[in-house]
Amino acid sequence: MPPKPLVYNGTLVERIDLTDALSLFRIQPDDPPKRDEQGAWFTPGQYCVIGLNNEEKPELGSVRRSMSIASAPEHTGPIEFYIRFVAKPESENPLTHLLWKRQAGQRIYMRPVAAGVFTLKDTVGLDDPRYKILVAAGTGSAPFVSMARSAVHRDPKADLSKLVILHGASYDADLGYRDELDGYVKNNGLHYYGTVSRPQQCPNWHGDTGRVEAFFEPARLVDLEKRLGLGEGGLTPKTAAVLICGLQGTIGSTLTSLIPRGFVPDFKRIREALGVAPEVPASLFYEQYDTEPVIDIKDPAVTEPLKAQLADALHKLAS
Ligand SMILES: Cc1cc2nc3c(=O)[nH]c(=O)nc-3n(C[C@H](O)[C@H](O)[C@H](O)COP(=O)(O)OP(=O)(O)OC[C@H]3O[C@@H](n4cnc5c(N)ncnc54)[C@H](O)[C@@H]3O)c2cc1C
């Protein structure tokens, strides 16, 4: 039985195509969301579920998918999502294929509440003084854009110098929100580095190259440390917490690179596989958009070296 048709409760009021496969979708819900006394209706980093009915093939029913909210929770206009068209989907009724046929003015379903704990409040805590290194590939930057936007919405002079957004994409045109984030660099002290993995096809790109996780490769870590004013070897859970958003490749590679620095993932089964004592606080958090295992915790050839590296790093940090 296909899922029941959804009752649409919002309007896609605007759609901005950044490229053929990357778009901003702005949705106005019929009923305004409930706001707290500061005007916020969710916490930056949370997501909503949006959905569509397959009108061309009604036998496939409806499809709903989680989408991180890119707008600020205090923003009173439409709710913004930063979405990639998935060319090779897994399901027979992919949401992005229906969404790409939608135009401004058409109706849509959006679950009227936000969910999720991939927020600064629920991970490191709002008062954490360390650098927050926010690592994203592709549309994984949406939660981090919301975090920056919210801080600036509340205080245009907000100090974002402890936020570090690292954003990776294939081409420079895919680095959505670049101009806005550059503005926060200038006005609020945000650290923002975009990186492109296909620089040969980006003649006007003069920034970093390689995949975003390459910032953490041993040979390049010192460069990132230098940019943040940390000494060589200074990027550890004492100075930073890491939040990663996107697909398995980015999350798994970043985690693997940062384990020798003592970063501990906030994921019970990986912690257990790496022999981390329950009292050791997590310093690396992630929101995953696909379902591939982040690392193969059943393979001792994967876990044993990581376990030894982490034990060694935690020992050094404690001494
Ligand atoms: C908490 C959460 C928040 C999310 N937020 C966003 C968001 O802000 N923007 C967004 O584009 N997607 C986001 N996603 C992914 C989204 O929910 C869907 O999985 C995606 O849109 C594909 O759905 P589909 O029905 O078109 O394809 P499906 O048939 O469901 O295909 C799923 C496959 O698509 C691939 N995929 C999923 N997401 C992406 C992506 N972003 N880029 C490239 N490949 C991908 C993966 O390989 C995944 O296994 C989020 C997922 C989660 C769990």
Q: What is the mean pLDDT of residues 4-15?
A: 96
What's the CATH number where 205 sits? 3.40.50.80
Q: What is the mean pLDDT of residues 47-74?
A: 97
Instruction: Return the residue matching tokens 């020798």.
Output: 260
On whether both 203 and 84 belong to a single domain, the answer is no
Residue 154 vs residues 98, 114, 151: alpha-carbon distances, Å? 35, 20, 5
On whether both 239 and 199 belong to a single domain, the answer is yes
Q: Does some domain include residue 2? A: no
Q: Is the beta carbon of 68 within 6 A of some atom in ligand 1?
A: yes
Q: Does some domain include residue 87? A: yes
On whether both 17 and 59 belong to a single domain, the answer is yes
Residue 239 has pLDDT above 90, yes or no: yes
- Pick the residue whose CA is nearest to atom 6 on ligand 1: 67
On whether both 174 and 283 belong to a single domain, the answer is yes
On whether both 176 and 298 belong to a single domain, the answer is yes
On whether both 225 and 279 belong to a single domain, the answer is yes
Q: Is the beta carbon of 66 within 6 A of some atom in ligand 1?
A: yes
Residue 1 has pLDDT above 80, yes or no: no
Q: Is the beta carbon of 118 within 6 A of some atom in ligand 1?
A: no
**Residue among 70, 94, 91, 87 at smallest CA distance from 14:** 70
Query: Residue 99 phi/psi, 5° resolution?
Result: -65, -40
Report the predicted TM-score, pTM, of the whole model to 2 decimal places: 0.98
The reported pLDDT for the residue numbered 314 is: 97
Residue 210 has pLDDT above 80, yes or no: yes
Residue 294 has pLDDT above 80, yes or no: yes
Residue 115 has pLDDT above 90, yes or no: yes
Give tens-digit pLDDT for 240-288.
Answer: 999 999 999 999 999 999 999 999 999 999 999 999 999 999 999 999 9
> Quick one: which atom of ligand 1 is closest to the CA of 84?
11
Q: What is the mean pLDDT of residues 80-106?
A: 97
Q: Which of 110, 141, 159 is the last residue of a domain?
A: 110
Q: Does some domain include residue 67? A: yes
**From 42, 54, 65, mutation site for ligand 1 pocket: most ligand atoms within 8 A of C-beta:** 65
Q: What is the mean pLDDT of residues 19-45?
A: 96
Q: What is the mean pLDDT of residues 141-164?
A: 98
On whether both 39 and 105 belong to a single domain, the answer is yes
Model confidence at 74, pLDDT cuts 50, 70, 90, reads: very high
Q: Does some domain include residue 70? A: yes
Q: Is the beta carbon of 27 within 6 A of some atom in ligand 1?
A: no
Q: Which of 76, 110, 144 is the last residue of a domain?
A: 110
Q: What percent of the chain has pLDDT over 90?
A: 98
On whether both 90 and 190 belong to a single domain, the answer is no
Residue 94 has pLDDT above 80, yes or no: yes
Q: What is the mean pLDDT of residues 49-60?
A: 96
Task: Compute the distance from residue 312 Cα to the ligand 1 centre, in Å.
Answer: 36
Query: How many domains does the chain fold into?
Result: 2
Residue 2 has pLDDT above 80, yes or no: no
On whether both 189 and 261 belong to a single domain, the answer is yes
Q: Does some domain include residue 34? A: yes
**From 42, 117, 147, 289, mutation site for ligand 1 pocket: most ligand atoms within 8 A of C-beta:** 289
Q: Is the beta carbon of 197 within 6 A of some atom in ligand 1?
A: no
Asked whether 118 and 237 are in contact (CB, 8 A), the reply is no
The reported pLDDT for the residue numbered 3 is: 72
On whether both 51 and 157 belong to a single domain, the answer is no
Q: Does some domain include residue 119? A: no
Sign of the C-alpha dihedral, residues 57, 62, 64, 69?
positive
Q: Is the beta carbon of 109 within 6 A of some atom in ligand 1?
A: no
Q: Which helix (H) or strand (E) holds 17?
A: strand 10-17
Task: Compute the distance from residue 290 Cα to the ligand 1 centre, in Å.
Answer: 6
On whether both 85 and 160 belong to a single domain, the answer is no
Q: What tokens does 47 get?
A: 């997501």
Q: Does some domain include residue 117? A: no
What's the CATH number where 74 sits? 2.40.30.10
- Pick the residue whose CA is nearest to atom 15 on ligand 1: 289
Residue 4 has pLDDT above 90, yes or no: no
Q: Which of 77, 110, 143 is the last residue of a domain?
A: 110
Residue 211 has pLDDT above 90, yes or no: yes
Task: Compute the distance from residue 246 Cα to the ligand 1 centre, in Å.
Answer: 9
On whether both 184 and 266 belong to a single domain, the answer is yes
Model confidence at 112, pLDDT cuts 50, 70, 90, reads: confident
Task: Compute the distance from residue 279 Cα to the ligand 1 centre, in Å.
Answer: 33
The reported pLDDT for the residue numbered 258 is: 98
Q: What is the mean pLDDT of residues 143-150?
A: 98
Look up the domain containing 57 and give its range. Answer: 10-110
Q: What is the mean pLDDT of residues 77-99?
A: 97
The reported pLDDT for the residue numbered 119 is: 98
Q: Does some domain include residue 166? A: yes
Q: Is the beta carbon of 88 within 6 A of some atom in ligand 1?
A: no
